[in-house]
Amino acid sequence: MSRGSTSLHGLNADRGLPLPAKPLYFLLNRLNNLFPMSRLDPGLAIRPFTPSPERLGAAVPETVISPARVLTHLYWQGLPWPEIQRELGGIRVLDVGCGRADYAAPLLDWSGGRIERYLGVDAETHPEWDVLLRDRGPFAFARGDASEISRHLAPETSIILSSSALEHVDRDLGFFEQVRDHAARCGDGPCCSSTSCLPAPACACFCSMASASTRRARFQRRPGSSPTGPTPPSFSWGARPASGTTSGTSPVPS
């Protein structure tokens, strides 16, 4: 494992690779992906998120997007936003690797207008940011690096999300360490949850729920682990499934 990374290597195709390094890149990634469940925290629980065919059909827009993105949309749409608002005391979002901020306006809509603040951070600025800023919604944007995300983690941040972005971060462990430190500073105050939606084999989508508060630890640990912490939240971070389907969420460790 390369230092500060969950990967076995430090090659990053985002910056371009010389020809001799390209086959090595594919080989190392193949080896890296042979054991996707290795080195996981024992408190990690992964459950399938399986929307009904009807929900899937209704969610696919005319413009084709990836299956993982469709599943991510359905996940956010199905969350119990009123309960989340009551639990967090206010929904203030940090979107890491937001790109064009494709989730800014939809999150505001899906939550029923409950987003008090949305801060999108990306390595590059995007013209779409200006359009959203002119709408005078609860939006703000900043250029920044995920490896230094603590600069953008305001104390009142209650939800940290990242969709199909963390695979571009060289030192992803450093990112999660900063999220953990933010959680420790939260104490028994507003809870914080980090959701990372990543493409997976067979076009599945894993939504990794990283608990960032001791108040969530007991609720989110799998049976048989050693739970600690006070009162669990009164809702599930798994999106509500349609009738006859399987719900899912992957809460990860505190």
Residues 94-153 pLDDT 10s: 999 999 999 999 999 999 999 999 999 999 999 999 999 998 889 999 999 888 899 999
Is 111:81 a contact under the CB 8 Å cutoff? yes
Q: Which of 203, 243, 205 is nearest to 52 (CA)?
A: 243
Is 207:49 a contact under the CB 8 Å cutoff? yes
Domains of the chain (ranges plus CATH)?
Answer: 46-252 (3.40.50)
Q: What is the pLDDT of residue 206?
A: 35
How far, in Å, CA of 148 to CA of 105, rounded? 25
Q: What is the pLDDT of residue 115?
A: 95
pLDDT in tens, 64-105: 567 777 888 888 888 899 998 988 888 999 999 999 999 999
With 0-12 CB in 10 A as exposed, 13-18 as middle and 19+ as buried, what is 134? exposed
pLDDT(170) > 90: no
Q: Which of 107, 129, 125 is nearest to 117 (CA)?
A: 107
C-alpha atoms less than 13 angstroms from C-alpha of 239 in its C-beta half-sphere: 23
Q: Tell me the pLDDT of the chain averaged across its residues.
A: 73
What percentage of the chain has pLDDT greater than the value 70?
A: 69
φ/ψ of 141, rounded to 5, equals -140, 155
What percentage of the chain has pLDDT greater than the value 90?
A: 24
pTM: 0.73
**14: which DSSP letter?**
G
Is 14:168 a contact under the CB 8 Å cutoff? yes
**246: which DSSP letter?**
B
